[in-house]
Amino acid sequence: MTPLFIIMLGAPGAGKGTQARLLSETLGLPQISSGDIFRENLKNQTPLGLLAKTYMDSGALVPDDVTINMVMDRLSRPDCANGAILDGFPRTLAQADALDKALATVGAQVSKVPLLEVSDEAVINRLAGRRVCRNCQAMYQLEFNPPQVAGKCDKCGGELYRRADDESDTVRNRLFVYYKQTAPLVGYYFAHGVLLSLNGARAIEAVQADLLAALKAA
């Protein structure tokens, strides 16, 4: 079976994590979120987590060498043998190039790159109301996808928190960084014939249905 490596692309708050998690359940492939790995390291106060924090707090990208090593290590684990859904990586042309080279060594390649298109205003609004479960990382949005009991996760009862980098000035800087360093990947993957542009401004379930249909048709 050809391994399936899918990269979720889009601005901060476009819904990459939300869609990757659903797709991971449907396809039975691991979801690999570079942001979640950094946050897990920070929770455990590892040197990697403490280093990443100095960049994440301002919305800047963690340096390529650190990020590439971390994600390659994760991709080398046995659960990625049939592929993976990458969420938040790659985010620079150097990271995309490193990924292509690493996959080529095992006879694999990037399969498809869904791009979630959402306006800047919509992502700013979404991130202002995002809440995440401290325990299971389930995601909520106070307006569009609120928890049943305020401050508590529907799935595990864990405490919901607001990410430090969802503060509005940091969100604006994350958007700036996205346009400067990550948006060039749209052209890169278009040129490779693997880009799938999707309207990410619809309801979560509608975007997921569009995503599955686009992957099937491709």
**Contact footprint for ligand AP5 (CB under 6 A):** 10, 12-18, 34-35, 38, 55-56, 59-62, 67, 88-89, 91, 95, 126, 130, 139-141, 144-145, 165, 174, 203-204, 207
Q: Which of 16, 39, 74, 112 is catalytic?
A: 16
| Token pair belonging to 26 | 């449907």
Q: Cβ closer to ligand AP5: 27 or 55?
A: 55
Contact call for residues 15 and 204 (beta carbons, < 8 A): yes
Q: Cβ closer to ligand AP5: 48 or 194?
A: 48
CB 3 → ligand AP5: shortest distance, Å? 20
Q: Cβ closer to ligand AP5: 22 or 194?
A: 22
Q: Cβ closer to ligand AP5: 13 or 83?
A: 13
Contact call for residues 184 and 101 (beta carbons, < 8 A): no
Q: Which of 152, 162, 163, 202 is catalytic?
A: 163
- Is 134 designated active site? no
| Token pair belonging to 191 | 């040129």
CB 15 → ligand AP5: shortest distance, Å? 3
Q: Which of 74, 112, 131, 174 is catalytic?
A: 174
Q: State the pairing for strand pair 139-141/195-199.
A: unpaired
- Is 91 designated active site? yes
Alpha helices in the chain (DSSP H): 16-27, 34-43, 47-56, 64-75, 93-105, 120-128, 168-177, 184-191, 204-217
For residue 197, which of 179, 189, 87 has the smallest C-alpha distance? 189
Q: Which of 39, 126, 130, 131 is catalytic?
A: 130
Residue number of the CB atom closest to ligand AP5: 35
For residue 130, which of 61, 204, 197 has the smallest C-alpha distance? 204
Q: State the pairing for strand pair 160-161/139-141.
A: unpaired
CB 208 → ligand AP5: shortest distance, Å? 9
Catalytic residues: 16, 91, 130, 163, 174
